[in-house]
């Protein structure tokens, strides 16, 4: 369903993504992990066609990114890391617009909006403008927008940011069910606990390079570590945390 | 009409209509909170255009020929459309809502055509207001070469001026498209923003600067040169349709009509299509820019920090300086004031109401009403303009930080604002004035600056600082704004009085003048020191 081959993205002198390759099958849910600035969001943006790769090939749902960008966008549901929404539209208007852009039928759009707002507990806010929404409500808007057109592939970049515990639990369950239905899901995060419970397979990226691609169990065996955060620290070569803490304390307590 | 045009360019009709309608709603709602001019800017521009067109149309009664009459209309259409649409190219350069729907299956051509349509739509209204009156007046053009078609002048003239307006937008879009390949988005945005102020100044000034006397003397050769320009091409279409075939300029009109039509066609078919095609690359570039990371962290420590003993004052000054450079409202305020002063000065000088030589005229050492007046006006505008913005504007984002007491002593914070005015506004202005005065009067020039400088400094130090300590709950109080305006009026009157007193003293005797001058300057400096030492809180 998703095939990435020798993907590279260069910004000036800086290699944001360095020759990574992976393949994700239909119905698979993959956790895409890495430290801040490792290249997670850049990879997702290239997959959804927002950024052009410097080199390499991307194939999503049977379509090559170089030639069939619009076909890919039609089949992908994407949640960006930053909530980009039409501030002056109401929630209903925003979702209606997205539904229409994805060529959904009017009746279907209305039905879905009514159901979604009920499930995400946003019925009261449905006619309010997005500019008055809290961060959590905005995140819910993004999620509803990404799921509205029943996409085959879901690319989620930190989807649980600012959400309350109830919604997170609901979404975790929902993602599992969607994967069972054959949706391909890339779940991008740096919160390891969620990825560990949700994703059977983990990809770890560090400084633009793919350092791990295996099921969690296999990673445990490979690294002789039990917790995913310990595996992550080992694979991303994050050392000297204790020294760093000492230094931080010294700087904070410095007066002159 | 636009929809068909967009579809021919490869836009998806379904998406095109959806995004266009949506952007209209967004624009309307974004303007809901705004009052007055911001909301009515197109209406005001249309009214202004209609008024101009009435004056320009009156030339029809002075025996003007159809070619020149059309040239006037076409040049005005191109000029006004260029002025109006220039800021809107910022939409093309930096479409703010693009990221919201970037992941949806919308082609870049569709998005480009939506943006272009927005510019074209408002231009159509503007062109209509600008040309409806001239098109009717065109019926009254007299000439032996004219045929009966001249009675249908509006039907010929209006499509031609519309075509010329679209041609202008096409040229501008193509130019912007080309420039995006050469320069960074930030540079281009700066260019479009500053051009908004430069062009409106140049346009009315052109009426003063164009030597119309020369035009009468060299009519034929000027017409020949105008024919080479796009305004001449489009004017020739009108001339060709309403004039007889057996006349002198017929061949010229046929060729120029061909040039006008072919150039518009080429413009539409080649550069615009090409931009629409490559717009996705450009939009991707915009998104990429968000992702670029800083290479190396560098924090500069300003030399000025060494001169400030009080860190609160320095922090406040740094903040004020940043906002002075970056705040759009302040930039607009100062630009508007600056443009007014420049236009007024130029009109006074060019029209000879206030001859430029008069600024040099002095009655005694240090007494030049023109120079002191000009320095005082500029000094007050800059200093009090900034202090008023800090003191009264609820919209100035840094205001609450300056007011908030837990962060620092309020008078220290206010002093920072005063230092910003002194260092970044008054110092350059004074240095420039001293250089200019020295150029006029030699080293004695400094005496011409001193009285005005003392008064401007007094106005800064006596400006009433904010009295409230709960900034976020502070409401905009009309009375306070009134007192701010009153300060400007008081000091402008004081400036006039100062010049008057010096005049009177000089009239009595030169020694009296020297005494009064010294008292004003030394006394002013004494008062300044008193104010500086006096604690405000």
Per-residue pLDDT tens digits for A153-200:
999 988 888 888 889 889 989 998 999 999 999 998 877 777 878 888
C-alpha distance from B139 to closest chain A C-alpha (Å): 48
Closest residue in chain A to residue B33, using alpha carbons only: A88
B102/A103 Cβ within 8 A: no
CA distance B190 to chain A (A): 24
Other CB atoms within a 10 A radius of the CB of residue A239 amount to 10
Q: What one-character DSSP code corresponds to residue B292?
A: P
Claim to verify: residue B354 and residue B480 sit in the same structural domain: yes
**Do residues B339 and B241 share a domain?**
no
B235 and B123 part of one domain? yes
Within 8 A by CB and 6+ apart from B480, the residues are B391, B392
Quick check: B295 contacting A, CB < 8 Å? yes
Residue with tokens 């000009």: B374
Task: Please tell me whether residues B260 and B319 are part of one structural domain.
Answer: no
Q: pLDDT by residue (tens digit) across B439-490?
A: 888 888 888 888 889 889 888 888 877 655 444 334 445 555 566 667 777 8
- The enclosing H or E element of B417 equals helix B410-420
pLDDT band per the 50, 70, 90 thresholds, residue A95: very high
| Burial of residue B160 (number of CB atoms within 10 Å: 0-12, 13-18, 19+) | buried
> What's the CA gap between B223 and B218, in Å, rounded?
9
d(CA B65, CA B57): 12
- Total domains in chain B come to 2
Residue B89 tokens read as 């190219």
* Token pair in block for residue B221: 């050769």
Share of chain A above pLDDT 90, in %: 31
Contact between A73 and B292 using a beta-carbon 8 Å cutoff: no
Question: Contact, B462 vs B418, CB < 8 A?
Answer: no
Examine the domain organization and report whether B249 and B356 are in the same domain. no
Tokens at residue A135, please? 């961060």
Helices (H), B393-466: 399-403, 410-420, 427-441, 445-461
Alpha carbon separation from A112 to A139, A254, B34, B395 (Å, rounded)? 18, 57, 35, 41
Size of interface A-B (CB pairs under 8 A): 74
Tell me whether residue B34 is in a domain. Answer: yes
Q: Find the length of chain B.
A: 537
User: Which positions in chain B touch A88 (Cβ < 8 Å)?
Assistant: 25-26, 29-30
Is the same domain home to B73 and B221?
yes
Set of chain B residues whose Cβ sits within 8 Å of the Cβ of A73 = 103-106
Inspect the interface and report whether the beta carbons of A70 and B105 lie closer than 8 Å: yes
Q: Is residue B467 part of a domain?
A: yes
Residues facing residue B347 across a β-bridge: none
Query: Is residue B136 domain-resident?
Result: yes
Q: Is the CB of residue A172 less than 8 Å from the CB of residue A197? A: yes
Three-state DSSP state, A158: coil
Boundary residue ending a domain (B255, B289, B323): B289
| Residue B179 in tokens | 């420039």
- Compare all CA atoms of chain A with the CA of B21 and give the residue at the minimum distance: A97
Q: How far apart are CA A33 and CA A205, in angstroms?
A: 6
Tokens 């709960």, residue located: B470
Neighbours of A210 (CB within 10 A): 21
**Contact criterion met (CB < 8 Å) for B105 and A16:** no
Question: What is the signed CA dihedral for B253, B256, B262, B266, rounded to 10 degrees?
Answer: -160
The confidence score (pLDDT) of residue B83 equals 77
Boundary (domain end) residue, out of B289, B324, B348: B289
**Which whole-number Å values give the CA distances from A33 to A26, A30, A224, B158, B293, in the listed order?**
20, 9, 19, 62, 19
Residue A17: is its pLDDT beyond 80? yes
Angle at A92 between CA A89 and CA A95, to 5 degrees: 90
Question: What's the pLDDT score for residue A137?
Answer: 92
Taking the CA of residue A217 and the nearest CA in chain B, the distance in Å comes to 33
Token code pair at residue B251: 């061949």
For residues B329-347, b (16+ Cβ closer than 10 Å) or e, as one string? Answer: ebeebbeeebeeeeeebee
Helices B369-392 and B478-508: angle between axes, nearest 10 degrees? 160
Angle, CA B359 vertex, CA B355 and CA B365 arms, to 5°: 145
Which residues sit opposite A33 in a β-bridge?
A189, A204
DSSP secondary structure string for all residues of A32-59: EE-STTSSHHHHHHHHHTSS--SEEEEE
**Residue A138: pLDDT band by 50, 70, 90 thresholds?**
very high
- Claim to verify: residue B270 and residue B349 sit in the same structural domain: no
Selection from B428, B424, B465 nearest residue B322 by Cα: B424
B297 touches chain A (CB under 8 A): no
CA–CA separation, B99 and B7 (whole Å): 23
Question: Which residue is closest to A43 within chain B, CA to CA?
Answer: B291
Bridge partners (DSSP) of residue A78 are: A155
Dihedral angle computed from the Cα positions of residues A169, A170, A174 and A177, in that order, rounded to the nearest 10 degrees: 70
Indicate whether B254 belongs to any domain: yes
From residue B265, alpha-carbon distances to A76, B276, B343, B347 in Å are 39, 16, 39, 41
Residue-range definition of the domain harbouring residue B124: 2-289
Taking the C-alpha atoms of A217, A222, A227 and A231 in order, what is their torsion angle to the nearest 10 degrees? -130
B283 and B356 assigned to the same domain: no
Sequence-distant (≥ 6) Cβ neighbours of residue B353 within 8 angstroms:
B347
Q: What is the pTM of this model?
A: 0.66
- Per-domain residue ranges of chain A: 2-83+150-253
Whether A101 and chain B come into contact, CB under 8 Å, resolves to yes
Shared domain check, B439 and B317: yes
Q: Exposed, middle or buried, B89 (CB in 10 Å: 0-12/13-18/19+)?
A: buried
Q: In tens digits, what is the pLDDT along chain B, a chain of 537 residues? A: 667 777 777 788 888 888 888 888 887 787 765 544 444 567 777 888 888 888 888 888 877 888 888 888 888 888 888 877 776 776 666 677 777 888 888 887 888 888 888 888 888 888 888 888 888 888 888 877 777 777 888 888 898 888 888 888 888 877 777 776 677 666 766 676 666 566 556 666 666 666 666 666 676 777 777 777 888 888 888 888 888 777 777 777 888 888 888 888 887 767 676 666 666 666 666 666 554 444 555 666 677 777 777 888 888 888 888 888 877 777 777 877 777 777 777 776 666 666 666 666 777 788 888 888 888 888 888 888 888 777 766 666 666 666 655 556 677 778 888 888 999 999 999 999 988 888 888 888 888 888 889 889 888 888 877 655 444 334 445 555 566 667 777 888 888 888 888 888 888 888 888 888 888 888 888 888 777 655 444
The residue in chain A having the minimum alpha-carbon distance to the alpha carbon of residue B103 is A73
Which residues of B are less than 8 Å from A97 in CB distance? 18, 22, 101
* Residue that is last in its domain, among B257, B289, B321: B289
- Residue B315 CA, distance from chain mean position: 32
Answer whether A50 sits within 8 Å of B18, measured CB to CB.
Answer: no
For chain B, the 3-state helix, strand and coil shares in percent, each to the nearest 5, are 80, 0, 20
Q: Which two tokens stand for residue B111?
A: 């998005």
Contact B104 A16 (CB under 8 A): no
The shortest C-alpha distance from A73 to chain B (Å) reads 5
| In a domain? residue B262 | yes
Q: Which residues on neighbouring strands pair with residue A206, listed in sequence order? A: A209
Which residues of chain A are within 8 Å of residue B102 when distances are taken between CB atoms? 50
Closest-approach residue (CA) in chain B for A129: B29
Contacts of residue A101, Cβ cutoff 8 Å, sequence gap at least 6: B15, B18, B19, B101, B104, B105, B106
All residues of chain A having their beta carbon less than 8 Å from the beta carbon of residue B288 are 11, 51
A2-83+150-253: CATH architecture: 3-Layer(aba) Sandwich (3.40)
Based on the fold, state whether residues B266 and B397 are members of the same structural domain. no
Q: Which chain A residues are Cβ-neighbours of B18 within 8 angstroms?
A: 97, 100-101
Q: Roughly what angle, to the nearest 10 degrees, separates helices A228-235 and A216-223?
A: 60
Indicate the average pLDDT of chain A: 87
pLDDT digits (tens, 9 = 90+) for B145-178: 777 777 888 888 898 888 888 888 888 877 777 7
Nearest chain B residue to A42 by CA: give it: B291
Residue A139 has pLDDT above 90, yes or no: yes
Please tell me whether residues B137 and B204 are part of one structural domain: yes
CB B49 within 8 A of CB B84: no
> Cβ(B113)–Cβ(B6) under 8 Å?
yes
Q: Domain for residue B303, yes or no?
A: no
| 8 Å CB contact of B18 and A100 | yes
State the DSSP H helix or E strand holding residue A8, giving kind and residue range, or none if neither.
Answer: strand A2-11
SS3 content of chain A, % helix, strand, coil (to 5): 45, 25, 30
B198 with B337, same domain? no
């Amino acid at each position: 369903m998703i095939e990435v081959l020798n993907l590279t993205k260069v910004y000036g002198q800086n290699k944001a993504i360095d020759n990574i390759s992976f393949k994700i099958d239909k119905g698979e849910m993959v956790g895409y992990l890495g430290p801040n600035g490792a290249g997670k969001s850049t990879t997702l943006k290239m997959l959804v066609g927002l950024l052009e790769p410097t080199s390499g090939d991307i194939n999503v749902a049977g379509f090559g990114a170089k030639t069939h960008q619009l076909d890919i966008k039609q089949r992908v549901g994407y949640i960006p890391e930053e909530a980009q929404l039409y501030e002056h539209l109401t929630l209903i208007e925003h979702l209606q617009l997205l539904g229409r852009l994805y060529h959904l039928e009017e009746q279907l759009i209305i039905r879905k909006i009514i159901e979604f707002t009920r499930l995400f507990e946003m019925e009261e806010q449905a006619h309010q403008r997005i500019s008055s929404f809290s961060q959590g409500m905005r995140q819910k808007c993004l999620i509803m927008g990404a799921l509205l057109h029943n996409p085959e592939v879901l690319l989620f970049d930190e989807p649980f940011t600012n959400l309350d515990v109830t919604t997170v639990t609901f979404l975790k369950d929902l993602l599992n069910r969607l994967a069972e239905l054959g949706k391909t899901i890339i779940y991008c995060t740096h919160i390891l606990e969620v990825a560990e419970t949700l994703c059977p397979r983990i990809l770890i990226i560090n400084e633009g390079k793919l350092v791990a691609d295996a099921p969690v169990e296999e990673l445990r065996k490979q690294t002789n570590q039990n917790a995913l955060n310990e595996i992550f620290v080992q694979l991303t070569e994050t050392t000297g945390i204790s020294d760093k803490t000492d230094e931080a304390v010294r700087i904070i307590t410095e007066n002159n | 009409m636009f929809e068909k045009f967009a579809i021919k360019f490869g836009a998806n009709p379904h998406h095109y209509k959806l995004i266009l309608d949506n952007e209209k709603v967004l624009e309307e709602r974004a303007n809901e909170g705004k009052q007055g001019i911001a909301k009515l800017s197109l209406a005001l521009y249309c009214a202004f255009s209609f008024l101009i067109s009435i004056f320009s149309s009156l030339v029809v009664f002075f025996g003007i020929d159809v070619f020149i009459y059309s040239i006037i209309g076409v040049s005005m259409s191109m000029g006004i459309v260029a002025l109006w649409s220039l800021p809107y190219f910022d939409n093309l350069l930096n479409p703010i809502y693009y990221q919201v729907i970037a992941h949806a299956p919308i082609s870049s051509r569709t998005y480009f055509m939506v943006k272009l349509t927005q510019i074209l739509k408002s231009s159509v209204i503007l062109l209509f207001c600008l040309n409806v009156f001239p098109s009717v007046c065109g019926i009254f053009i007299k000439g032996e070469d004219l045929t009966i078609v001249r009675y249908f002048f509006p039907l010929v003239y209006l499509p031609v001026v519309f075509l010329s307006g679209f041609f202008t937008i096409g040229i501008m879009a193509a130019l912007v498209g080309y420039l995006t390949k050469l320069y960074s988005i930030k540079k281009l945005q700066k260019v479009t923003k500053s051009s908004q102020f430069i062009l409106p100044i140049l346009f009315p000034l052109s009426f003063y600067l164009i030597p119309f006397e020369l035009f009468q003397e060299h009519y034929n050769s000027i017409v020949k040169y105008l024919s080479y320009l796009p305004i001449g091409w489009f004017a020739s279409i009108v001339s060709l349709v309403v004039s007889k075939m057996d006349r002198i300029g017929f061949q010229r009109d046929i060729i120029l009509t061909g040039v006008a039509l072919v150039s518009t066609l080429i413009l539409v078919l080649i550069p615009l299509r090409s931009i629409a095609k490559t717009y996705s690359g450009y939009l991707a570039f915009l998104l990429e820019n968000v992702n670029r990371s800083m290479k190396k962290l560098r924090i500069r420590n300003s030399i000025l920090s060494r001169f400030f003993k009080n860190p609160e004052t320095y922090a406040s000054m740094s903040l004020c300086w940043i906002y002075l450079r970056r705040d759009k409202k302040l930039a607009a305020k100062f630009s508007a004031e600056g443009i007014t002063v420049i236009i007024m000065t130029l009109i006074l000088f060019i029209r000879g109401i206030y001859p430029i030589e008069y600024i040099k005229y002095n009655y005694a050492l240090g007494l030049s009403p023109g120079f002191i007046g000009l320095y005082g006006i500029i000094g007050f505008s800059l200093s009090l303009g900034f202090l008023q913005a800090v003191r009264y504007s609820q919209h100035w984002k840094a205001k609450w930080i300056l007011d908030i007491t837990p962060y620092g002593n309020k008078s220290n914070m206010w002093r920072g604002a005063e230092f910003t005015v002194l260092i970044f506004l008054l110092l350059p202005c004074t240095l420039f004035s001293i250089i200019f005065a020295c150029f006029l009067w030699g080293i004695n020039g400094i005496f011409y600056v001193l009285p005005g400088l003392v008064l401007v400094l007094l106005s800064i130090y006596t400006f009433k600082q904010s009295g409230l300590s709960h900034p976020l709950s502070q409401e905009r109080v009309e009375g306070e704004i009134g007192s701010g305006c009153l300060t400007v009026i008081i000091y402008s009157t004081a400036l006039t009085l100062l010049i008057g007193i010096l005049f009177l003293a000089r009239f009595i005797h030169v020694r009296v003048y020297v005494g009064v001058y010294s008292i004003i300057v030394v006394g002013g400096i004494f008062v300044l020191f008193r104010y500086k030492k006096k604690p405000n809180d």
